[in-house]
Structure 1
Amino acid sequence: MPYPSLTLTAMAVVTDPQPPARTDPPASPDGGRRRVVAMTIWAVAFVAAWLAIGLPTDPAYAFVWIWAATIAWNSDRPWRSHLRFARDWVPVVLLFVVYNLSRGFADNGATPHAMELIVADRFMFGWATGGEVPTVWLQEHLYRPQVHWWDVAASWVYFSHFVVALTAAAVLWLRDRHRWAAYMRRWGFLCAAGLVTYFLYPAAPPWWAAQNGLLTEVARISTRGWKAFGMHGAGNVLNAGQIASNPVAAMPSLHTAWALFVVLFFLTTTRRRWWPLLLAYPLAMTFTLVYSGEHYVIDVLVGWAYVGMTFLVVGLAERAWTARRANQPPPPSDPVDHEVVATVDGVSRQ
């Protein structure tokens, strides 16, 4: 019986390689049911913790819930996959913890800037607000002792600042690790730029200016909307964080900067019919922050400018890094070139 030439066999192995064996576990036949059960358990636990402790506005606390959600969503994966998520994210969470703590030292005991921000907002909008800053004008027309639907919407929009950017990053980590890295580089640069500004230019928000006699009465009302549902403890963590946070870390507004950053990062990969909905998010955040007394409009505009600077600087740095790597000479090849020639009788080396 004739045997095929070993030369042809060797060529077939080289030119037509077989796909590598799959290393991930095979899909479980009941994976869909298992995911539904796991996500239901996660949702019940989240709501219970929300009502008992408060919404997850602390970075470390929010990370725990996001990590738990990824475990529930991919509950059929081995534990090493879930531990890899923690390995990649723990440095990020630690950086945000340090960021939050360092904001408390931004004022260095100096009197924060406030009057310049008031003058800027009056210059831009005084013609339409009777000479008042937009925060005072909005609260005069919308703030009432009873909670209205716009108060509820504002509270939810304000809370979204603490979870939207993190959740978007978690989804990217699961779906596209390369884009996750690009996202984190830009997000980290944006936060670092904001933190440096807090040290160089400590600025106070409208509610602080009102407490110190620079404005008429301004209420800090970013969390009052939850009371309409009887969820008086929903903002416990957030309220505690507001008390402990640095009141002079207002310029730029990273709340609106994060909102615009997330939208712009995904805008080019989103169908245009969804663009108005996406772009409405940073505008809703702007209304929320100005109405609730957390920021001036000038803080928002500077925050948006920081987002543009972030995409420009990081994008240029990435292009320069790519060009530098492309111009590097390739590593020297092995001078000894072993050629394997298969014959019918055996293998000879040259």
Structure 2
Amino acid sequence: MLRTDVPGTEAVPRTRLRWWTELPIILLVYGAYSAGRLLARGDVTSAVDHGLAILRVEKFFYLNAEHPLNRLFTREPWIGIPADFWYASLHYMVTPAVLIWLFRSRTVRYRAARTWLMASTFVGLIGFTLLPTCPPRLLSASHGFVDTMAQYSDYGWWGGEASAPRGLGGMTNQYAAMPSLHVGWALWCGVILWRYGGTRFTKVLGVAYPLITTIVVMGTANHYFLDALAGAVVMGIGLLVTRPVLRVADMVRARLGVRTPAPVTAGRTPVTAGPHAAGSSIVSAGCQTSTGEQFPRQRKVRATPGAEQGAEPGASPTDAGDGAPAPAR
């Protein structure tokens, strides 16, 4: 089927997104991201130096909210334990759930939102590579931080190495703290829920989820405040490059002869091209109407005298050629 977004423009082949093509793409990108995190393991000494530099900057500007939050989470298990579960699980559950919901109920918004998330993730990977950073929990005890994940590890599946399951700590990069994609992905989920949720409850979730996640990553001593801020900046950069990335992807698809999903243009309804050329003035053009078919109460077009093939000069114009006068305008 041919579709065109603007009447009068050339129709372009379109196709719908399918889950069996989307899932491999997402898994491939996530696999590349995870492998990139492991390959981006920098020198531990440099990572510690970067972490201490961030902490000094925060103290200078009175931004080190991690200290009071970490003391609270350490002192109050009824706060610290749920926070550890939040950090260890929701990052990997809520984001895919929002992606699936968007794919099923807001399909026309899905492609741009998915591209935004993926582009931001790769920008974050660049940050991990260029700036390996020691999180607060891995600094020496003299800096006043407690690893709450290790403190409450008896309550969960994680051990003393971030949120990785026991025995699998070597498969994660603990120095990939800058930027915080826990915060970045949570912000993406929040924006999507706020814009497309449609209910007050989803809007509340859209605000609460990234806000609580930001508090959690600092209180558990997994990230600095500037890590969280950098996560938001990364999402902003990803949003800016989303449209160019989509254009490049469409160009590649066109060169490969692959049909691309139809874009959505605000205020314009895609029209299915009919047997007539796009931009035709015929009523049925682009609407798949049969010859002679007429919409209810549709007025017929008055023909120009002599324009009909075989019309005799001086003959009175009619609509059907049966001698009946044309209806008055």
* TM bucket, shorter chain: 0.5 to 0.7
Superposition deviation, residue 273 in structure 1: 3.4
| Residue 282 in structure 1 maps to residue 214 in structure 2 | no
1:1-350 equivalent positions in 2, closer than 5 A: 85-109=19-43, 111-112=46-47, 113-125=50-62, 133-144=64-75, 148-158=77-87, 159-210=89-140, 215-222=142-149, 227=154, 231-233=155-157, 238-271=165-198, 273-274=200-201, 275-315=203-243
Q: Structure 1 280/265 Cα, relative in aligned 2: closer, same or farther at 3 Å? A: same
| TM score, norm. by length of structure 1 | 0.57
Distance 2:150 2:110 in 1: 31
| TM score, norm. by length of structure 2 | 0.60
Distance 2:179 2:74 in 1: 25
Superposition deviation, residue 198 in structure 1: 1.1
Contact preservation (8 Å) 1:259, 1:281? yes
What amino acid maps onto 2:67 in structure 1? V
Distance 2:186 2:291 in 1: 62
Distance 2:211 2:105 in 1: 28
What amino acid maps onto 1:298 in structure 2? L
Superposition deviation, residue 251 in structure 1: 0.7
Q: Which has the larger radius of gyration?
A: 2
Q: How big is each residue's C-alpha offset from its partner over 1:270-312, in whole Å with a ceiling of 9 and x where there is no partner? A: 3473434421111111111111110000000111111122223
Distance 1:244 1:217 in 2: 27
Q: Give 5+ residue unaligned stretches, structure 2.
A: 1-17, 255-262, 264-276, 278-289, 293-329
Superposition deviation, residue 140 in structure 1: 3.0
Q: Structure 1 142/160 Cα, relative in aligned 2: closer, same or farther at 3 Å? A: closer
User: Residue 218 of structure 1 aligns to a residue in which SS?
Assistant: coil
What amino acid maps onto 1:191 in structure 2? T
What amino acid maps onto 2:70 in structure 1? Q
Residue matched to 1:51: none
Superposition deviation, residue 201 in structure 1: 1.6
Distance 1:85 1:182 in 2: 15
More helix as a share of residues: 1
Identity between Structure 1 and Structure 2 (%): 22
RMSD after superposition: 3.6
Contact preservation (8 Å) 1:197, 1:252? yes
Contact preservation (8 Å) 1:120, 1:298? no
Q: How big is each residue's C-alpha offset from its partner over 1:85-124, in whole Å with a ceiling of 9 and x where there is no partner? A: 3443123112212211221221343622222211122123
Superposition deviation, residue 315 in structure 1: 4.1
What amino acid maps onto 2:212 in structure 1? A
Superposition deviation, residue 224 in structure 1: 5.7
Count residues in correspondence: 234
Q: Give 5+ residue unaligned stretches, structure 1.
A: 1-83, 127-132, 327-332, 334-339, 343-350
Q: How big is each residue's C-alpha offset from its partner over 1:142-181, in whole Å with a ceiling of 9 and x where there is no partner? A: 413xx62212321232120111111111222333443222
What amino acid maps onto 1:107 in structure 2? R
